[in-house]
């Protein structure tokens, strides 16, 4: 099933469970909608669960223009999925890149969230390392653009991923396989348009205090 974002981008989503309070799951850069399958299977016993592929991630549309990727669009895309399903309010759960989207969903559409679960969303927020984070993001974008399958092997063994491999080799193998199928255009544009340009938590301090 597909929702249509404000700019016309088609967003693929799946649901599980018919009854109960809705939960929307928002995936990380290295994942996709199906990375939430364990949570979908578990929580669908008592909740209506929704997961979707962010723009740039098949089977959602993959816009070629980097200007069609941004933090604001990432938040509004989540809203579009809820609207497509006729859901007024939901618990919103996001990991890493999805955690930032979830945070901005809460800032921009507070009346549509029952709660926010923001996990692993600290990387790149420190002001003293902002330039390093942006430069690294641009290098990652270039590498995915050149050889997504080849670079995915390097990315999957990064310092923030090897502990996953150590703790859960089977789960890590599924993550690495999923990562190897990233779109060259989608991954590069997501890094350049969303990750690289997102504001620091410190730039949002006043807004966060008002939440």
Q: Please report, for the chain, the start and end positions of each structural domain, with discontinuous segments joined by +.
A: 2-210
Give the mean pLDDT of 194-202.
89
pLDDT category of residue 205 using cuts at 50, 70 and 90:
confident
For residue 80, how many C-alpha atoms fall within 13 Å in the half-sphere facing its CB? 24
Give the pLDDT mean for 175-200.
Answer: 95
Average pLDDT over residues 22-50: 97
pLDDT band for position 129 (50/70/90)? Answer: confident
**125 pLDDT above the threshold of 90:** no
* DSSP 8-state assignment for residue 89: -
Is the CATH code 3.40.50.1820 the one for domain 2-210? yes
Q: Where are the alpha helices (DSSP H) in 37-96?
A: 37-43, 71-84
Which residues does 12 contact at the CB level (< 8 Å), separation at least 6?
1, 2, 33, 52, 53, 58, 59, 60
What is the pLDDT at residue 160? 85
Q: Exposure string (b/e) for 159-173, b if CB count within 10 Å is 16 or more? A: eebeeeeeeeeeebe
CA-CA distance, 131 to 159, in Å (whole number)?
19
């Amino acid at each position: 099933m597909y929702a249509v974002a404000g700019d016309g981008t088609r967003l693929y989503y799946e649901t599980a469970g018919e009854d109960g309070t809705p939960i929307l799951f928002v995936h990380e850069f290295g994942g996709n909608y199906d990375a939430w399958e364990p949570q979908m299977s578990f929580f669908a016993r008592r909740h209506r669960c929704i997961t979707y592929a962010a723009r740039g991630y098949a089977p959602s549309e993959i816009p070629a223009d980097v200007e069609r990727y941004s933090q604001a669009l990432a938040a509004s895309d989540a809203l579009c999925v809820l609207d497509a399903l006729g859901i007024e309010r939901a618990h919103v759960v996001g990991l890493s890149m999805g955690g930032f989207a979830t945070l901005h969903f809460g800032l921009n559409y507070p009346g549509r969230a029952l709660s926010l679960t923001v996990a692993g969303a600290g990387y790149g927020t420190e002001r003293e390392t902002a330039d390093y984070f942006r430069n690294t993001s641009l290098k990652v974008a270039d590498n995915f653009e050149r050889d997504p399958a080849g670079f995915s092997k390097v990315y999957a063994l990064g310092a923030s991923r090897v502990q996953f491999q150590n703790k859960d080799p089977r789960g890590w193998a599924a993550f690495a396989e999923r990562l190897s199928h990233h779109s060259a255009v989608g991954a590069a544009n997501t890094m350049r348009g969303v990750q690289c340009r997102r504001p620091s938590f410190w730039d949002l301090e006043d807004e966060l205090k008002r939440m």
